[in-house]
Amino acid sequence: MSQTTTHGPADPADRIIGYLDARGQLPRPQVTRLTGGVSGETFLVESPPSRVVVKRTLDKLLVAGDWRAKPERAMTEAAALRLLHGITPECTPELLDADPETNTVVISAAPAEWVNWKEALLGVVVDPTTGPVDVAAELGTVLGHWHRDTRQNPQVAEDFDDYEAFEQLRVDPFHRTVARAHPDLAAVINSCADELLTRRDCLVHGDFSPKNVLVGRDGLMVLDFEVAHFGAAVFDLAFMSCHLALKALHLPDRADVLASAAAALVRAYRETAGWAAGSAAGSAADDDHVTTRLGWHTACLMLARVDGLSPAGYLSAETASAVRDIAAAALCGSDTSAGALWDLVTHPSREVRP
């Protein structure tokens, strides 16, 4: 997220300071509004040497359309942070406070010099990392640990069995919306949506994308766990792959390196997750269901980012048209793999919808 310092007597920062005082968190801090998200109000609160982030979820998202989701999803984020910080503490914020009455959470902040990975990929800020391939591989490893350590866990399944926010924030505004906009593709899109709503594999992040990753020279941190649920593992891989594919089309001179990053993401994930029955953690074996239809799931999400309720703002009209053609070609084809989709993204003579 980018930063915009707030000021003025009627500023929300005053409310945040009062809130933190009441909760016993960092009195008299400097408060900075963080922009870039649409699901709530987010502030960076600094009282050296401490830095925390305060998030309050909203009922109506900050988009042009009437997109609503229950604000109680903040408590889902709190529960996911408690669990996943224990698995990957160096890559997951620490939950410091959770208030169900106001749907507000307080979490630890990343180092001040770290930057948003989406902005680094788009060239908005200088990339402090060794490149997208290495970052994607580390993200694949982190995701693999989360999925492996929560796989088929009955307690985690019980704790994260509320799918309402996932339907409100992902399936309805993405899959169901584009299925109505593209009736010739509706059958395959709805089949992907149905898979996401019926599989019960592991704890799924639900918003695993570059905008929710902060990176620095010495590490990374994954943010925003509001849509976490016990569901289909393929969704997290598809969500990140979708964003890498969109950026490859937006920046064609970087398409090859972003394709390599997407491949590194999946490869590292498979090496860590160990999905096959009886396989040792860290093996390269993988249950087919996680990656066999990854190309189709990614294509559905790409289509959603041009014709769903939350279009990717950086895409030109021409690029959005190319996204539609590539997604349609992938969804009309018999090869459901990620490789088939990326061939369409990187090949100069892409197929188009008949």
Beta bridge partners of 153: none
What is this structure's pTM?
A: 0.86
Contact 1, 124 (CB under 8 A): no
Strands (E), the chain: 2-5, 30-35, 40-47, 50-57, 95-99, 104-108, 115-116, 202-204, 213-216, 219-222, 229-231
Residue 306 contacts residue 323 (beta carbons within 8 Å):
yes
Tokens of 101: 């009455």
Q: How far apart are CA 216 and CA 143, in angstroms?
A: 18
Query: Please, are residues 331 and 257 in contact by the beta-carbon 8 Å criterion?
Result: no
Predicted pLDDT at 23: 78
> Dihedrals φ, ψ of 348, to 5°?
-65, -25
Q: Which two tokens stand for residue 129?
A: 């990392």
Domain 113-354 has CATH 3.30.56.10: no
Percent helix, strand and coil across the chain, each to the nearest 5: 50, 15, 35
3-class secondary-structure state, position 239: helix
CA atoms within 13 A on the CB side of 61: 21
The reported pLDDT for the residue numbered 42 is 86
At residue 57, the pLDDT reads: 80
Each residue's pLDDT, cut to its tens digit, for the chain (354 residues) gives 445 444 445 577 778 877 877 777 755 678 888 765 556 788 898 887 889 999 888 765 544 455 555 777 889 999 999 999 999 999 999 999 999 988 899 999 999 999 999 999 999 999 999 999 999 999 999 999 999 999 999 999 999 998 888 998 899 999 999 999 999 999 999 999 999 999 999 999 999 999 999 999 999 999 999 999 999 999 999 999 999 999 999 999 999 999 999 999 999 999 999 875 434 344 444 456 799 999 999 999 999 999 998 899 999 999 999 999 999 999 999 999 999 999 999 985 655 444
Q: Which residues touch 165 (CB under 8 Å, ≥6 apart)?
A: 69, 70, 73, 76, 226, 227, 229
Residue 217: burial class (beta carbons within 10 Å; 0-12, 13-18, 19+): exposed
- Rounded distance between C-alpha atoms, residue 276 and residue 144, angstroms: 13
Measured CA to CA in angstroms, residue 114 lies from 2, 50, 52 at distances of: 11, 16, 14
The gap from C-alpha 16 to its chain's centroid, in whole angstroms, comes to 26
Res 10: pLDDT: 54
Q: Are 171 and 236 in contact (CB under 8 A)?
A: no
Domain residue spans of the chain: 1-109, 113-354
CATH 3.30.200.20 fits 1-109, yes or no: yes
Helix (H) or strand (E) holding 299: helix 294-307
DSSP strand E in 36-195: where?
40-47, 50-57, 95-99, 104-108, 115-116
In three-state secondary structure terms, 98 is: strand
Task: Determine the pLDDT at residue 274.
Answer: 86
What is residue 275's predicted lDDT score, i.e. its pLDDT?
A: 78
What is the model's pLDDT at position 284? 42
